[in-house]
Amino acid sequence: MQSIRPDNIEQQVRFLSHDLLEGRGTGQRGGDLAAEYIATQFALDGLKPAGDDGSYLQKVPMVGITPGADTRFTLVPAGGQLSDINPLDLKPLDDYVAYDQTQQPESNIDAEIVYVGYGIEAPEYNWDDYKGVDVKGKVLLMLVNQPPSDDPKFFTGKTLTYYGRWVYKYEEAARKGAVGAILIHKTEMASYGWEVVRNSFSGEKSYLKLDGTPKLKAAAWIHLDIARKLASDAGMDLDKMMADATSRDFKPAPLHVRLSAHMTSKVRPFESDNVIAVLPGSDKKLKDEGVLYTAHYDHFGIRPDMPGDNIFNGAMDNATGCGILMEIARVYAGAAQKPHRSIFIVSVTAEEQGLLGSEYLGKHPPIPAGKISLDLNYDNVLPLGSPEEVQVSGAERTTFYPLRCRRLLRISALRFVPTRAPKPDTTIAPITSASRGSAFRLFPSMRG
Ligand SMILES: [Zn+2]
């Protein structure tokens, strides 16, 4: 078998991170150029196309959503003794951020706000914040993260599970028929400041085109000060509400305050591509199974609103992964002895937009998901010199790990480091009931 040539990887990184590639932005010319280039490399290697209609490209339909300047977000106390409190008009970006996930140019919300603690229903941890309460048509107020614990068997202790992530909380609220979900931002709980929320929830955000998955008219965050004011207007105490949420006995609490919102959005439909090539397996039976090698090719593109050098070249993130991917493709294609299983080489799009290319691939895999034996993903491979130790994050959840990883580690002289307690938003623990969420969660290694 030919060997991997580091020089080749370096040349690919050089090209993909060139200014001419314009930062490989999703929905931008540079991103499309990168996809075409990678597809061309696969073709020159002699790999077979495994995208749409006999091509190397799998079309990923997306929309870009930009909140309109005339969006209004108002907290309106209900009648009775609260009626002397004035409605509170929230200031965009300072007080709240919100996106309309329904991909409509306009939506209206006038709904009661119900506090649902962490907004988590996790039968495997015997935890249910909803307690069967019907939240259809409501706006749910909730905390970020998950109930605090040192017990590895309870929400995996200090490691953040998928349940603690805002993506899950919005998904679960939408599945239960809520029209909106508002996350209370608290720096210590989110592990990042309001500035991060403000920056990552402003301007255009990309979403997969609607595919029948329930969506919220308002997927929002509010500043802690506003949450305090909201609680006190409702005659409640936010600190007590937060403490209550750490108990198994927590029950949803209506706030007797309504959210009155007029959401306007600029909706820009566009398409981007995953690039998929295959080397068919050589074994009659095993060729129906596949091993995936993945790396995202997109980065942040050009930011026209920024002065000076506004190209985000993304040499490390993730021209490196793509360079490795293309070199693996070249070596596999030229190998005298073909692998038993089919080898899929996939470069996904829109990772920086929230793993959208991976999510789409997970929902539309090139072979049935149950036939995928393994996915090895390459992302942001930093030039740090020769590694001495390796952290095989997530691998312990696969059957591949005990069989192969350990053997590889033995022969490679790398020191193995168990998964460290991570930053809360960077580690994903197993979802024991995979059917509860998006299909891409079935492939934990695609994340990141
Ligand atoms: Zn990356």
The span from the CA of 263 to the CA of 72, in Å, is: 6
If you measure from the C-alpha of residue 140 to the centroid of ligand 1, how many angstroms do you get, rounded to a whole number? 32
46-76 pLDDT, tens digit each = 999 999 999 999 999 999 999 999 999 999 9
- Provide the β-strand partners of residue 77: 257
Nearest one of 328, 439, 434 to 378, comparing CA atoms:
328
Q: Which residues, by Cβ under 5 Å, contact ligand 1, an ion?
A: 317-318, 379-380
Residue 116 φ/ψ, nearest 5 degrees:
-120, 25
**Ligand 1 centroid to 330 CA: how many Å?**
22
> pLDDT-based confidence at 399, cuts 50/70/90?
confident
Would the pLDDT of 18 be above 60? yes
Lowest mean pLDDT among 62-66, 158-162, 255-259, 426-430: 426-430
pLDDT tens digits, one per residue of 278-325: 999 999 999 999 999 999 999 999 988 788 999 999 999 999 999 999
pTM (2 decimals)? 0.81
Q: Which two tokens stand for residue 280?
A: 């068919």
Chain centroid to CA 255: 31
- Average pLDDT, whole number, for the chain? 88
375: tokens are: 């996915």
Q: In the chain, what percentage of residues exceed pLDDT 90? A: 69
Token readout for 242 is 């937060």
- Tokens 């989110």 label which residue? 190
Calculate how far, in angstroms, residue 294's C-alpha sits from the geometric centre of ligand 1: 11
Q: How far is the CA of 217 from the centre of ligand 1 (A)?
A: 29
In angstroms and rounded to an integer, the radius of gyration of the C-alpha atoms of the chain is 24
CA 316 / ligand 1 centre spacing (Å): 8
Tell how far the Cα of 213 is from the centroid of ligand 1, in angstroms: 26
Q: How far, in Å, from the CA of 447 to the mean position of ligand 1?
A: 9
Distance 448 CA to ligand 1 centre (A): 6
**Any residues with CB less than 8 A from the CB of 243 and at least 6 apart, and which?**
none
Q: Which pLDDT does position 438 carry in this prediction? A: 30
d(CA 384, CA 142): 40
Q: How far apart, in whole angstroms, are the C-alpha atoms of residue 5 and residue 382?
A: 17
Closest CA to 314 of 6, 8, 34: 34
How many angstroms does the Cα of residue 322 sit away from the middle of ligand 1?
A: 10
Give me 262's structure tokens. Answer: 């007029």
Q: How far is the CA of 355 from the centre of ligand 1 (A)?
A: 9
Give the lowest-confidence range in 24-33, 128-137, 147-156, 229-238.
Answer: 147-156
> What separation in Å is there between the alpha carbon of 51 and the centre of ligand 1?
22
Ligand 1 center to residue 352 CA distance, Å?
A: 7
Read off the pLDDT of residues 76-118 as tens digits, 9 standing for 90 and up: 987 655 555 678 999 999 999 999 999 999 999 999 999 999 9
Instruction: Enumerate the β-bridge partners of residue 127.
Output: 122
Between CA 242 and CA 114 the distance in angstroms is: 14
In this structure, the dihedral spanned by the alpha carbons of residues 107, 108, 112 and 118, taken in order and rounded to 10 degrees, is: 20
Instruction: Round to whole Å and give the CA distance between 58 and 78.
Output: 50
272's CB contacts (< 8 A; 6+ apart) are 26, 27, 31, 32, 35, 60, 62, 298, 349, 350, 357
Alpha-carbon distance of 146 to 271, in angstroms, equals 35
Which domains are seen in the chain, by residue range?
Answer: 6-61+271-444 (3.40.630.10), 66-267 (3.50.30.30)
